[in-house]
Structure 1
Amino acid sequence: MKIIENCIKHDIGVVLAPTIVRGVNEDQIGGIIDFASERVPGIRGVHFQPASYFGRMPVVPTDEDRVTLPEVIEAIERQTQGRVDRDSFCPPGCENIFKKGMSQMQDIFEWIYECLTRKESFVLATFIKKNGSPHREESKKMLIRKDFSIYGTIGGGLVEALTIQLSAKMFQRRGSILEDFSKSHKDVEILERVCGGNTTVLLEYVDCDDVQTVELYQKALMLKKEGAGLFLITKIEKNHRKAGSLSKWICTETGFFGSENEEVQSVIKHIRENGEHVNMQVLLVADETYLIEPYLNDELACIIGAGHVAQKIAELAKMIGLKVVIIDDREEFANKERFNMADEIIVIPSFENLTDHYTVNRNSYVIIVTRGHDYDQDVLSQMLKTDAKYIGMIGSLNKREYVYKNLLDEGFTLKDLERVYAPIGLKIDADTPEEIAISIAAELIKVKRNSGDIK
């Protein structure tokens, strides 16, 4: 108890992690929650760990000895008289022992700006990928707080653990460092084998009292929420261990934020000339080093149809980092109760003129899973007129031939139809809605990682 109170006194966040053992403390769950709630925000979360098999058992435990998660959830609801229920898990502001418990899909700029507005300085870690990587994706970033709790991830494993450890020095120095752990850590061979030789991380102290830094991240968050693409530019000082904030700029298609100089103008010119082909990279300009990080328009899964398969696809699409839009003409199917993970749900009068109700663009992964051949054909004919990054249609080979024949009769060409992934999903002999969703998600990942067509 004294340890908890001292941690709270010195503004060190506490997460309780009680182990629940049958016959020992399963009747104390409500009391633990009350204890924690009375000490918020000092105590930032409670993580119950039900014990299946515990201690040095003289005999092999039976199933009756197990404590399961559903039992813990039921006990929480009962012992708190419903004040806390199954929908209360991981609410905003609650923390995982290692990661913040708010939505893991929350934008890194939201985490950054939230800390800055709370007047909380932190260390920001960025995993530096090798130049020339074919994968177009946002940077892996991790925000490290003074209590060493983190938001986000740079990939986990040994490099992430060493990064958190090194952040303590950044808090002391209030500076930045570009660290190649394969050179600084004694287990070089292990690191290089695990990480493929790519073990460089930029750690930078972000000062909540630095007005220019706060304004820059506020601008970045605003642009992201508006759906605008942006490039974050960071100047990496020659003396990587130099104290002080790193110079940063934001470049958009039409705008620029930050103080101008000749070198950064050359970086902006490079971005504007190469546009969508600019991946995360380290660029050398006039003997100065700049890190370029693209944060372009969010890629999204546009799921047309709201049946059982669509539900499973939506869950997995969210897990792999896509925004999820559900479109159907049946409100009893397309609703928040059935698709609580969806970013947007659109109920349309009919599948005719679908694009009048929603705009599909080059960041869209269109997944056609309506309730019939004719609906699928109608939707597909409209999607072929868009610049969607991916168009997939569910169904058998016979169905595909039936739909394709009709579309060819309408005037579409074989080249048009080559864009379509049908039958949708990788071939894994999927049968159930869950299996079909997994095959589709795998295909989306393959297209995403290869920046386009994989046929």
Structure 2
Amino acid sequence: MRGIWKELHPWIEQKKRFALATVTKTWGSAPRGVGSTMAISDKMEVIGSVSGGCVEGAVIEAAMEVLESDTPRHLSFGVSDETAWSVGLTCGGKIKVFVEPHLSLATSPPEKAVWRALKSTLEENGTGILITRLSAETYSHAFVSNDDSVEGTPPSDFQQLLPLLKKMFMNRESGEIEWRSEPLFIQSIPARSRLLIVGAAHISIPLVKFARELDFEIVVIDPRKIFATTERFPSPPDQILPLWPEEAFQQLVLNEDTYAVLLTHDPKIDDPALHILLRSPVSYIGALGSQKTHQKRVKRLREAGFSDEEIKRIHAPVGLDIQAKTPEEIAISILGEIVKVRRSPRG
């Protein structure tokens, strides 16, 4: 749901009635992954997508019925359906979609408590796990916060289930599971990833633009005030800090949901940033520059006391090798490498 939260928020503030459709399972070639969501209002307004094709029409019809009856529905679409070709299910693909009244419409105290916890998590860029009990007999929700506190109606033997939930969350996995003969949909809700860009260089302009499309929280850091301006960015970052990296990092949390890119080519700016980043748990450190430039960087870091194992954390030259030349191409290569790291299993 985080992927559509920004667009969904006005609906919630306006107290619109809407259903939420979620892809709960896929097989073969599917156009959207598990956890993809689409919101459908009672006026047939739509936010998000579950397939990017004709399946949406059937899902919208089902959503209208769900809002009318206040009863969730399970939908399946597969290669045998006549719409399969148009939605990309032509290689034995199949998707399951669960359509339900959105939690903001809940009336029972346990469900309202789940909604408050989920809403707070999304608004504050927190983390958690949303459990949907899928069977008609037990249909309900539970929300697990990062301190393991639980709201709502958890399934039986919940404490035994918790290690599996934590493993799924660590790997940013969502999906259907069966627990004590009961079908559950587990939706991991990680924090919105943060992209730190050190240096408001020309490459940073398309990098910010494209990273916004991937829903990163973007912070640009550059002590050169002539570069660190909102006017420089047609698509502005979330924050611009006209500070030296060591000052800026004091204001920021550097954790596993943080990805850092150094773009200045200036050791006076990049090296102090690396000294902090290399001894932090950030998931990605990329640095612009040729192999020759990087070898000089490695020499300076060794002289500063960093081990080869620490230095190996730096992706340099930064980005996937796609023979990128223009700022836009380089930005795409950088984000491609970051996505590759972000999608890799953790732990």
TM-score category by the smaller chain? 0.7 to 0.9
Match of 1:157 in 2: 53
Question: Which runs of 5 or more structure 2 residues have no equivalent in the other structure?
Answer: 28-32
Structure 2 counterpart of 1:346, one-letter code: L
CA RMSD after TM alignment = 3.0
Match of 1:409 in 2: 303
Contact 1:175/1:204, CA 8 A, preserved across alignment = yes
Is residue 247 from structure 1 mapped to residue 140 from structure 2 by the alignment?
A: yes
- CA distance in 1 between partners of 2:103 and 2:299 (Å): 62
Contact 1:109/1:217, CA 8 A, preserved across alignment = no
Structure 1 pair 396–330 and aligned structure 2 pair: CA distance change class (3 A): same
Contact 1:326/1:344, CA 8 A, preserved across alignment = yes
Percent of residue pairs identical: 25
Q: CA deviation at 1:130?
A: 4.4
Is residue 218 from structure 1 mapped to residue 116 from structure 2 by the alignment?
A: yes
- From 405, 420, 430, the counterpart of 2:324: 430
Q: CA deviation at 1:363?
A: 0.7
- CA distance in 2 between partners of 1:261 and 1:315 (Å): 42
Structure 1 pair 149–320 and aligned structure 2 pair: CA distance change class (3 A): same
Structure 1 pair 192–225 and aligned structure 2 pair: CA distance change class (3 A): closer
Structure 1 pair 263–234 and aligned structure 2 pair: CA distance change class (3 A): farther
Q: CA deviation at 1:246?
A: 3.8
Q: CA deviation at 1:443?
A: 1.7
SS at match of 2:231: coil
Contact 2:197/2:262, CA 8 A, preserved across alignment = yes
Match of 2:24 in 1: 128
Contact 2:24/2:34, CA 8 A, preserved across alignment = no
- CA distance in 2 between partners of 1:273 and 1:376 (Å): 35
- CA distance in 1 between partners of 2:103 and 2:188 (Å): 23
- CA distance in 2 between partners of 1:196 and 1:267 (Å): 32
Q: CA deviation at 1:284?
A: 1.3
- After the TM superposition, which residues 358-437 of structure 1 pair with which residues of structure 2 at under 5 Å, given as runs? 358-437=252-331
Question: Which runs of 5 or more structure 1 residues have no equivalent in the other structure?
Answer: 1-104, 132-136, 240-244
- CA distance in 2 between partners of 1:208 and 1:232 (Å): 14
After superposition, the C-alpha distances for 1:298-338 in whole angstroms (9 at most, x for unaligned) are: 11211111121111111111112212111111233222222
- After the TM superposition, which residues 158-307 of structure 1 pair with which residues of structure 2 at under 5 Å, given as runs? 158-182=54-78, 185-187=81-83, 193-194=89-90, 197-206=93-102, 210-212=106-108, 213-238=111-136, 246-254=139-147, 255-260=149-154, 262-272=156-166, 275-277=169-171, 279-307=173-201
- Please identify the structure whose Cα radius of gyration is greater: 1
Structure 1 pair 361–319 and aligned structure 2 pair: CA distance change class (3 A): same
Q: CA deviation at 1:374?
A: 3.8
Contact 1:111/1:151, CA 8 A, preserved across alignment = yes
- CA distance in 1 between partners of 2:252 and 2:37 (Å): 32
Structure 2 counterpart of 1:223, one-letter code: T
SS at match of 2:99: strand
- CA distance in 1 between partners of 2:86 and 2:49 (Å): 20
Structure 1 counterpart of 2:255, one-letter code: N
SS at match of 2:22: strand
Structure 1 counterpart of 2:101, one-letter code: Y
- CA distance in 2 between partners of 1:208 and 1:440 (Å): 38
Q: CA deviation at 1:273?
A: 6.3
Match of 2:207 in 1: 313
TM-score by length of 1: 0.67
Asked which structure has the greater RCO (Cα within 8 Å, sep 6+), the reply is 2
Structure 2 counterpart of 1:309, one-letter code: I
Match of 2:30 in 1: none
- CA distance in 2 between partners of 1:263 and 1:313 (Å): 46
Match of 2:225 in 1: 331
Structure 1 pair 129–364 and aligned structure 2 pair: CA distance change class (3 A): farther
Structure 1 pair 276–356 and aligned structure 2 pair: CA distance change class (3 A): same
Structure 1 counterpart of 2:23, one-letter code: F
- After the TM superposition, which residues 99-118 of structure 1 pair with which residues of structure 2 at under 5 Å, given as runs? 108-109=4-5, 114-118=10-14
Structure 1 counterpart of 2:241, one-letter code: I
After superposition, the C-alpha distances for 1:340-389 in whole angstroms (9 at most, x for unaligned) are: 431122221x3445532333211111000125134222322221111111
Range moving further from structure 2, 325-334 or 257-266? 257-266
Q: CA deviation at 1:238?
A: 5.0
Q: CA deviation at 1:219?
A: 2.4
- CA distance in 2 between partners of 1:427 and 1:272 (Å): 34
- CA distance in 2 between partners of 1:122 and 1:184 (Å): 30
Contact 1:238/1:288, CA 8 A, preserved across alignment = no
Structure 1 pair 433–183 and aligned structure 2 pair: CA distance change class (3 A): closer
Contact 2:221/2:248, CA 8 A, preserved across alignment = no
Q: CA deviation at 1:449?
A: 2.6
What count of residue pairs does the alignment treat as equivalent?
Answer: 338
